[in-house]
């Protein structure tokens, strides 16, 4: 089955991001196709490489990056939500005159159309969040 | 892009300003309109407050985005379901909500109501018949 995953909450405060990760991993292990993982609302905070959790805790961002590298996942951060919350890649830094970037490896910033396209193209849209 | 048309349902369950879900839901709806899918919106629980008229956000320093709902008709978003029980539980009636309309180009641009007042049971059937659910 072809799936699009939507992650609506940031890391650590809510379990949603953990659940989305484990669901995505399990779906891949079962042979399903992940069309895209779309990060929206505070979910965009899953895409900052500047996160530094304690060493005895899980690293949620790195976990997504590693999964993306392993499976060629398309991890998309919503641009409008990212601009509000300070998630920045090279293009955004240039466009908006920012002095730094923080996007994590494997993530890219794009528009909401990517989410709607996920709904159109996939057999199921699976949403994680409150 | 796929040529098939799916039934998209955007479910709005939260009050407009306490969290950003209402506004960022509306942003998806506006962007999604370009995809020419069969779009419906549902407002239930505290989400019914999103459609109330006369919203004034000056005191909280936040943008009043409620006028945007009246533009939905222009985006060909014409099916807006409001749950009757949610209104009643909050002491609201249809008169407390914005009068949202769309123009039917097949009937000489006749103005038609966008809001459909439905019971909880009826809304459940509409949701069950949808292909893609966005829950905000």
A109: pLDDT strictly greater than 70: yes
State CA B113 to chain mean position distance: 12
* pLDDT score recorded for residue A130: 76
Kindly report the nearest CA distance between residue A119 and chain B, in angstroms: 6
Residues of B with CB under 8 A from a CB of A: 1-2, 4, 6, 8, 20-21, 24, 27-28, 31-32, 34-35, 37, 132-135
Give the tens place of pLDDT for each residue, A42-86: 999 999 999 999 999 999 999 999 999 999 999 999 999 999 999
Q: Give a yes or no: residue B1 inside a domain.
A: no
Alpha helices in B76-119 (DSSP H): 84-89
B1: pLDDT strictly greater than 70: no
B3: pLDDT strictly greater than 90: no
Exposed e or buried b per residue across B26-59, where buried means at least 16 C-beta atoms within 10 angstroms of its C-beta: bbbbebbbebebebbbbbbbbbbbbbeeeeeeee
Contact B83, B115 (CB under 8 A): no
- What's the structural domain count of chain B? 1
Q: Give a yes or no: residue B18 inside a domain.
A: yes
Beta strands across the sheet bearing A33-39: A107-110, A75-78, A33-39, A2-7, A124-128
Contact A115, B35 (CB under 8 A): no
Contact B46, B13 (CB under 8 A): yes
Kindly report the nearest CA distance between residue B24 and chain A, in angstroms: 7
- Segment B23-30 shows an average pLDDT of 96
Q: Give a yes or no: residue B2 inside a domain.
A: no
pTM for the structure as a whole:
0.91
Average model confidence (pLDDT) across chain A: 97
Exactly one of A75, A78, A82, A103 is catalytic; name it.
A78
Q: Is A112 on the interface with B (CB under 8 A)?
A: yes
Q: Give a yes or no: residue B33 inside a domain.
A: yes
The whole-angstrom separation of Cα A96 and Cα A114 is 21
Contact B63, B22 (CB under 8 A): no
* pLDDT score recorded for residue A17: 95
Q: At what angle do helices A113-121 and B21-32 cross, to 10 degrees?
A: 70
- Segment B10-21 shows an average pLDDT of 96
User: What CATH number corresponds to the domain at position B111?
Assistant: 3.40.1260.10
Place of tokens 């069950």: B128
Q: Give a yes or no: residue B29 inside a domain.
A: yes
Contact A10, A43 (CB under 8 A): yes
Confidence of residue B4 (pLDDT cuts 50, 70, 90): confident
Facing residue for B35 by CB, picked from A6, A116, A127: A116
Residues forming beta bridges with residue A81, ordered by sequence position: none
Confidence of residue B42 (pLDDT cuts 50, 70, 90): very high
- Do strands B7-12 and B38-43 pair parallel, antiparallel, or not at all (unpaired)? parallel
Give the tens place of pLDDT for each residue, B55-113: 999 999 999 999 999 999 999 999 999 999 999 999 999 999 999 999 999 999 999 99
Q: Give a yes or no: residue B24 inside a domain.
A: yes
Is A78 catalytic? The answer is: yes
Q: Give a yes or no: residue B23 inside a domain.
A: yes
Contact B48, B87 (CB under 8 A): yes
Question: In which domain, by residue range, is B24 found?
Answer: 7-135
Nearest Cα residue to A125 out of A9, A27, A28, A4: A4
């Amino acid at each position: 089955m072809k799936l699009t995953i939507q992650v609506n909450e940031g890391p650590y405060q809510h379990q949603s991001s953990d659940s989305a990760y484990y669901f995505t991993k399990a779906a891949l292990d079962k042979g399903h196709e992940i069309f895209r993982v779309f990060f929206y609302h505070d979910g965009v905070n899953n895409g900052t490489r500047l996160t530094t959790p304690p060493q005895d805790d899980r690293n949620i961002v790195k976990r997504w990056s590693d999964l993306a590298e392993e499976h060629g996942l398309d991890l998309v951060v919503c641009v409008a939500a990212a601009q509000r919350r300070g998630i920045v890649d090279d293009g955004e830094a240039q466009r908006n005159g920012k002095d730094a970037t923080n996007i994590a490896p494997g993530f890219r910033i794009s528009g909401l159309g990517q989410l709607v396209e996920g709904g159109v193209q996939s057999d199921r849209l699976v949403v994680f969040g409150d | 892009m796929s040529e098939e048309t799916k039934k998209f349902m955007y479910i709005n369950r939260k009050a407009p300003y306490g969290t950003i879900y209402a506004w960022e839901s509306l942003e998806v709806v506006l962007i999604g309109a370009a995809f020419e899918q069969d779009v419906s919106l549902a407002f239930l629980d505290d989400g019914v407050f999103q459609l109330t008229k006369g919203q004034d956000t000056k005191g909280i320093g936040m943008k009043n985005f409620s006028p945007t709902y009246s533009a939905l008709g222009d985006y060909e978003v014409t099916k807006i379901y409001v749950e009757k029980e949610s209104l009643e539980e909050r002491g609201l009636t249809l008169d407390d909500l914005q009068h949202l309309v769309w123009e039917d180009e097949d009937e000489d641009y006749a103005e038609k109501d966008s809001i459909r007042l439905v019971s909880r049971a009826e809304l459940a059937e509409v949701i069950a018949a949808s292909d893609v659910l966005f829950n905000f």
